[in-house]
């Protein structure tokens, strides 16, 4: 085992602090990664503050990991020392169920995936995430970061990128399709970039017009304020796909009204409290309400190649580890454009 420095939440809602954790020895099929950058995802905050229910503490968050391979086990065939790699939200799964066989490890039915942190690994030990110097991961859950992406802007793609790419691919975003993105934050700004790169017509639906210039610069064709009731009247029956990237309760009837017949609203954010949806909103135009969870390993690799080809890295604000707690507060206040990324050299 190896001792590495990390930042952890010692208890629910407690400030994160510098600590030391143990990483397992490199096994036959393991990859030891020297972490260089790790993104701060809103789900890190939900979990560190136990907003989604009981959690495991101490907790080392971080599932948007980019770094360089330092060592590989003797059975590893896909990577070697010096490779630029990433790790996302999962570090294992059953690998035997139909979903795992289809490359949909995020929907593993054989006990569920082993999450990168706040989970229990197959060895019975808690998993610790990327707010740390190094991590050891089975090669099957490591992806290659293309040379066309710098590691700092690639890190958020391991969650924000794949979480938006997967539903856009699944619901066939592309030329001739109209896509609305609810919220222009960490997820939303990547949804705009990716949908635009796919050739769709993209509209941002945000509470205000405060970020309109950014939205248009990132690839949106239109930008509307949802605080204006006329927005929903003007856009009624417009969109094929709505990607809801916010983790708050919405007036779902209003948003569903702007879908075309057979349109789908895909929810990516996960509010901490239950939400209510009137089924009347779905009748009449065969509209659908759905959701999507990250993406499997093959699709994550596909997404990275796509983003490299289209120059679609994340918009980031690079911070030192000592700024993590302040960054959490700023994320809660929507005061980031558009993803905080920790330089792990500062840990």
pTM for the structure as a whole: 0.95
| Rounded mean pLDDT for each run of 10 residues along the chain, 347 residues in total | 96 96 97 98 94 93 98 98 98 98 97 97 96 98 97 98 98 98 96 98 96 97 95 97 91 94 93 77 88 96 98 98 97 93 98
pLDDT given at position 283: 81
Q: What does the alpha-carbon distance between residue 257 and residue 277 come to, in Å, rounded to a whole number?
A: 13
Question: pLDDT tens digit string along 174-205?
Answer: 999 999 999 999 999 999 999 999 999 999 99
CATH number of 161-291: 3.40.50.720
**Residue 162: per-residue pLDDT:** 98
pLDDT at 242: 98
Among the listed residues 133, 148, 18, 39, the one whose alpha carbon sits nearest the alpha carbon of residue 89: 39
pLDDT at residue 281, rounded to an integer: 80
Task: Tell me yes or no: is domain 2-158+295-346 CATH 2.60.40.650.
Answer: no
- At residue 311, the pLDDT reads 96
> In the chain, where are the structural domains located?
2-158+295-346, 161-291
Q: CB–CB of 319/339 below 8 Å? A: no
């Amino acid at each position: 085992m190896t001792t590495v420095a990390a930042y952890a939440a010692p208890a629910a809602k407690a400030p994160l602090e510098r600590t030391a954790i143990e990483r397992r020895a490199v096994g036959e099929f393991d990859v030891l990664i020297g972490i260089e950058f790790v993104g701060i995802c809103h789900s890190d905050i939900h979990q560190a503050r136990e907003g989604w229910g009981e959690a495991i503490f101490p907790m080392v968050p971080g599932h948007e990991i980019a770094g360089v391979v330092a060592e590989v086990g003797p059975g590893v065939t896909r990577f070697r020392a010096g490779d630029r790699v990433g790790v996302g939200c999962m570090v294992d799964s059953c690998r035997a169920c139909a979903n795992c066989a289809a490359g949909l490890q995020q929907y593993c039915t054989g006990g569920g995936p082993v999450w990168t942190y706040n989970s229990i690994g197959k060895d019975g030990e808690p998993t610790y995430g990327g707010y740390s110097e190094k991590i050891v991961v089975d090669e099957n859950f490591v992806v290659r970061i293309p040379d066309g992406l710098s590691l700092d802007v690639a890190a958020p793609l391991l969650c924000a990128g794949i979480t938006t790419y997967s539903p856009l691919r699944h619901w066939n975003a592309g030329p001739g399709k109209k896509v609305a993105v609810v919220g222009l934050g960490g997820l939303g700004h990547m949804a705009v970039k990716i949908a635009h790169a796919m050739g769709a017509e993209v509209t941002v639906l945000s509470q205000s017009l405060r970020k309109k210039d950014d939205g248009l610069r990132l690839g949106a064709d239109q930008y509307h304020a949802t605080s204006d009731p006329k927005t929903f009247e003007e856009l009624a029956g417009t969109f094929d796909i709505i990607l809801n990237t916010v983790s708050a309760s919405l007036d779902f009837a209003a948003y569903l009204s702007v879908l075309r017949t057979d349109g789908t609203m895909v929810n990516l954010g996960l509010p901490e409290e239950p939400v209510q949806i009137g089924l009347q909103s779905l009748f009449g135009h065969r509209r659908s309400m759905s959701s999507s969870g990250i993406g499997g390993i093959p699709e994550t690799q596909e997404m990275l190649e796509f983003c490299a080809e289209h120059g679609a890295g994340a918009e980031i604000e690079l911070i030192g580890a000592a700024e993590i707690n302040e960054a959490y507060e700023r994320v809660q206040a929507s005061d980031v454009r558009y993803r905080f990324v920790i330089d792990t050299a500062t840990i």
